[in-house]
Amino acid sequence: MHIKSDASQFIEMRIVKAPFIVLALIALVLFGVAHAADKSAVKTGIEDNASDAKRAKELLGRAVVHYRAKKELALAAFDRQGEFIQGDLYVYAINTSGVLLASGGSSSVLIDRIVVGMSDVDGKLLFKEMLDKAKSRGSGTVEYRWLNRTHNKVERKVTYFQQVGDVIIAVGYYIPHAAATQAKNMLDRASDAVKRDPKSAFKAFQDLSGKYIEDDLYVFVIGIDDLHFRAHGATPRLAGSDAQSLTDPNGKPIIREMISIIKANGEGELEYSWRNPVTSKIEKKHTYVRKVGNYLVGVGYYTR
């Protein structure tokens, strides 16, 4: 108690004699909290996927144990609402002949049908890949793009699976953030489209249901001569507006830096902060840019 009293008297004395010191200390504390919160937000974004992956693995583990104990009776439990459906996570099962046996998700309409020939929106034969891997390894993962009913958007999905007898049990989770390879591939496709027919390409880049908007990826185009947007997949209203004064939330003159990059090297990449149209959060973005005729064509992915 004596120590606490002395400390209180000392603080009161310092506040009276030097209020500006207290204010400075408060400012430092608030800055530290804000900085920590900012770092925490980035860390949380990274941990979200790790958490979903962990949940998916745990749900798959429980489903495998349940199937081993109950055999075919377990399939009914996978179909209905209950312990094997957690938010957008659910269990589904197919046999080695490619017939869907159970599903707690939207694919339940395919139960008792042969799905081995089905593909995702990009034409990937996901079930065939799963069966092939299960045959050679017994378990594994498969990645594809599937409709997320929660957001009603097509997103990347990673599915873990394990074979038990002649049944493959699977659980997948969605990853709305695109990868670097996706961004590079889209830039290649967008560049080819601009070379063939710029006007048609600009229109296609802004088609929300088109092939140039995937997950959180989109294309933007800027005229090199006048530095005006020709197209912007996330914000179409920017088309025709002046882009040269555009900065990121930290004041970084991103357009001027992009133009400098392509004028010097023809293509390159830049990192900055930007709003993710999927999460509506300011996140770190890595953008690839390329000079195509008199245009700058860019596609970036979010690194959080």
pLDDT tens sequence across 116-138:
999 998 899 999 999 999 999 99
Q: Of 141-155, 262-276, 287-301, which gets the smallest average pLDDT? A: 141-155
* Residue with the larger pLDDT of the pair 280 and 39: 280
- Distance (Å, whole) CA 233 – CA 189: 14
Q: Do the beta carbons of residue 274 and residue 281 sit within 8 Å?
A: no
- Distance (Å, whole) CA 275 – CA 235: 11
pLDDT of 11 above 50 = no
- Distance (Å, whole) CA 97 – CA 214: 32
**pLDDT for 151:** 65
Q: Which two tokens stand for residue 154?
A: 């097509």
DSSP state of 238: G
pLDDT of 25 above 90 = no
Domain 46-175 CATH class label: alpha beta
Q: Do the beta carbons of residue 232 and residue 202 sit within 8 Å?
A: no
Judge: domain 180-302, CATH 3.30.450.20.
Answer: yes
CATH 3.30.450.20 domain position(s) in the chain? 46-175, 180-302
**pLDDT for 50:** 66
pTM of the complete model:
0.55
Could you give the C-alpha distances from 55 to 50, 51, 90, 107, 299, in angstroms and in order?
9, 6, 10, 20, 32
